[in-house]
Amino acid sequence: MKKYERVVENLNRALHALFATDPHVFLIGEDLLDPYGGAFKVSSGLSSRFPDRILATPLSEGAFLGIASGLTLCGEKVIAEIMFGDFIALGYDQILNFAAKAVSMYGRSLTINLVVRCPVGGNRGYGPTHSQSMQKYFIGIPHLHLFEISPFHDNGLLLNKLVNLGQPCILFEDKVLYAQRIYTVGVIDEYFVAEALDNEQNFVRVFLDEGSTDEPDCVIIAPGLLSVDHIFVVEESVAGGTWGCEVAQQIYERLWNSLKHPVHLIHSKESIIPSAPHLEKQVLVQAEDIYTAIIEAMHAQD
């Protein structure tokens, strides 16, 4: 008997609950209908229960993101599923120049309840056009909100918030997380503990449970994880104009007087992403890369 729920199961359950309680929610995208239920099975079972509100489309992200935005202008709430996050580039214009701008370009504020679900990331051997981290291309667009799933946040609460946000948003879903278990705040295992850093549990800190109140030597900030001597921001995308840069800038604004060392950014190599697993690992940031960067930075200050 399974003792825990995986992230993909939590997402699927969240979607079913949302559709059962809100008749204005629609799902649109490619290959959503049962028995397939989407490329990663996040949408499994929805078309059987809610056939009139699951809209399967041809292979055209630009087309179905335009339809999704139009539905929101009619007062509906729409979740658009991108099969692989890389393909969101084909619908970039609809997000940048229509959905995000429609909130305010008609002389009055309009409600655009649009959620674009976007599976991203590598380490699955999917190759150059199915493995990228696309977050950096959407940073700084007015009225567009960016979110990340994590194994420490219940997607039922998250999706209910996003479909009622009133402005378009993108929910980035790291594909590697789909198979991982959902954790609750508290003891994770014999080594790690998780604690919420705010009342709404938007931020979670994961740390070694050593029964110590000593300050840590370093803090690692990353999607799905979270006076300090060193701060490291880790992201799977390549360097330049990323959310990690934004995080570093926010840290500098708030902690400048207490920072002992610069914020360190850790990225993947500037390259296409190979399909072969051993080559993919050479390009995408790995645990050993993070370890090496931390050790080198800390030794440099000795």
The DSSP letter of residue 263 is P
Q: Name the residues annotated as catalytic.
A: 130
Could you identify the residue written with the tokens 């729409």? 78
Place of tokens 């309680």: 21
Secondary structure letter of residue 108 according to DSSP: S
Rounded Cα gap, residues 170 and 152, in angstroms: 19
Strands (E) across the chain are located at 25-29, 54-56, 77-81, 114-120, 145-148, 169-174, 186-187, 192-196, 204-208, 218-221, 230-234, 264-266
Among 202, 174, 173, which residue's Cα sits nearest to residue 15? 173
Q: Are 10 and 154 in contact (CB under 8 A)?
A: yes
Q: Is there a contact between 117 and 42 (Cβ–Cβ < 8 Å)?
A: yes
**Separation between Cα atoms, residue 115 and residue 22, nearest integer Å:** 15
- On the CB side of 284, CA atoms within 13 Å amount to 25
Q: How far apart are the first and last CA of the chain?
A: 51
